Amino acid sequence: MKLLDRFLTVWIFLAMAVGVAIGAAAPERAAEQTDLPIAIGLIVMMFPPLVKIDYQKLPAVFKNTRLLLLSLGLNWIVGPVLMFALAVLFLRDAPDYMAGVILIGLARCIAMVLVWNDLADGSREVAAGLVALNSVFQVVAYPFYAWLFMAQFPAWLGLEGAAVSVSVELVAESVLLYLGVPFALAVGVRQAALRWKGRDWLDQTLIPRLSPLTLVALLFTIVAMFSLKGEAILDLPLDVVRIAVPLLVYFAAMFGISLLISWRMGLTYERSASVAFTASGNNFELAIAVAIGVFGLDSGQAFAGVIGPLVEVPALILLVHLARSLRGKFRQTA
C-alpha cells in the first residue's frame, strides 16, 4: 500500500475524474444508486481510524475545558458565520446556490474529519472527542441554525431567504449512521482484539491490516460522490466554479484561523491538527440530505450541496500536506 500512500493526491484526482465520467455516462443510474455506496464507503473509511483510538484516553479530552470551548467556538460561531458571509458575498445573485452553501456551513464536522486527521498525524483521541462533542451539539443546534441562517439573517439583510424546517430526527439519523455505526463496530473489534489477542497483536498485526481500508474506501467514496452529479458538473462548469470559490476560501480560512489560534494557545501539533480539521470539515451527508429533502433533488440547493464534498476532498487533502509541513512550528510536548 506504500504506492497508494505516496501518490494519494494523484489517486484522489483520478477517482474524481472516474466518478464524473460515470455520472456523465449514466446520470439517472448514478443518481439512483449512489446513496448506499456512499454510506458504505464512509463507514468502512472511518472504521480503521476508530479502531486505532485508545478510548481510555477520551475522559482526559473531555476534562480539557479550554480545548472543548475552542472547538465549540470555531464550529458553532466562526464556521457558520464565515460560510454565511462568503455565500452572501459570492452568491447573493444566485439565491439557490447561496442557500446550498449556507447549509454546508451549518453541518459541522463528522465522518471524513477522522480520516484527514489520521493522515495528518493528529491526535486520534482529541479528534474523536471533538467529533463526538460537536455531533451531540449538532443534533440540538442544527434545526435552530437552519431557521436562523436560512430565513432570518437573509431577511434582515434584504436578501431572498427560505423557510427551512429540519427535524431533530433527521440530524440524529445522520449522526447515528455516519458516526454511531462505525464507532460501535470499531469499539467492539478493538475490545475483542485486546481481550483475546492482546495489545501487541492489535498494534502490530490488526491495525496495519485494517489501515489500507481507509484509503481504498476513500477512493471508492470519491468515485461514488462525483458520479452523483457528473453530468451536471460537465454541463454547468461555470456554476461549479462559482460554488467552489467561496468553499475554497472557507476551507483555507477556517483551517488557518484554527491553526493560528491553537498555536497561540500553545497546543501541541497533534492537538492543533485535530482542532483544525474538526473545525474545517463539514457533515456534507447531512447538508445534502436537508437540501434534497427541503428543496428537491434537482434544485440548485441540492446541486450546491453535492459540490460541497467535491471541493472539500481535494482541499482537505492539500491541507493535510500543509499541516504536516508546519509540524515543527508547534509545541512538541503537552
162 inside domain: yes
Residue type, 146: A
Phi first, then psi, for residue 162 (nearest 5°) are -145, 135
User: Can you give the pTM of this predicted structure?
Assistant: 0.84
User: Any idea what DSSP says for residue 197?
Assistant: T
225 inside domain: yes
- Round to whole Å and give the CA distance between 109 and 130: 9
15 inside domain: no
User: How many helices, marked H, and strands, marked E, lie in the chain?
Assistant: 20, 0
Residues 6+ apart with CB under 8 A from 181: 43
| 217 and 45 Cβ atoms separated by less than 8 Å | yes
CA distances, 61 to each of 73, 164, 273 (Å)? 16, 35, 15
Phi first, then psi, for residue 189 (nearest 5°) are -65, -45
- What's the CATH code of the domain at 123? 1.20.1530.20
- Round to whole Å and give the CA distance between 6 and 210: 18
Evaluate if residue 280 carries a pLDDT over 90: yes
**What is the model's pLDDT at position 4?**
59
10 inside domain: no
Among 92-101, 153-162, 212-221, 248-257, the range with the most confident prediction by mean pLDDT is 248-257
Q: How confident is the model at residue 1 (pLDDT cuts 50, 70, 90)?
A: very low
Residue type, 206: L
**Any idea which residue has 470519491 for its cell?**
222
Q: How confident is the model at residue 130 (pLDDT cuts 50, 70, 90)?
A: very high
CA distances, 253 to each of 72, 83, 104, 122, 292 (Å)? 17, 10, 15, 19, 28
How many domains does the structure of the chain reveal? 1
DSSP string, 145-166: HHHIIIIIHHHHTT--------
Residues 6+ apart with CB under 8 A from 22: 30, 223, 226, 227, 230
Write the pLDDT tens digit of every residue in 45-90.
888 888 888 888 888 888 999 999 999 999 999 999 999 999 999 9
User: Any idea what DSSP says for residue 111?
Assistant: T
Residue 2, Cβ density class (10 Å: 0-12 exposed, 13-18 middle, ≥19 buried): exposed
Nearest to 103 by CA among 117, 91, 115: 91
Evaluate if residue 8 carries a pLDDT over 60: yes
User: Any idea what DSSP says for residue 78?
Assistant: I
Count of Cβ atoms closer than 10 Å to residue 37 Cβ = 17
102 inside domain: yes
| 112 and 316 Cβ atoms separated by less than 8 Å | yes
* Average pLDDT of the residues in 183-210: 91
206 inside domain: yes
**What is the model's pLDDT at position 104?**
92
- Round to whole Å and give the CA distance between 70 and 117: 17
Write the pLDDT tens digit of every residue in 17-42.
888 888 778 766 655 555 678 788 88
Write the pLDDT tens digit of every residue in 148-195.
898 889 888 888 777 676 777 877 887 787 778 888 898 899 999 999
User: Any idea what DSSP says for residue 268?
Assistant: B
267 inside domain: yes
- Round to whole Å and give the CA distance between 166 and 57: 35
**What is the model's pLDDT at position 314?**
85
**Which domain does 312 fall in, by range?**
39-326
34 inside domain: no
CA distances, 163 to each of 103, 151, 328 (Å)? 13, 5, 47
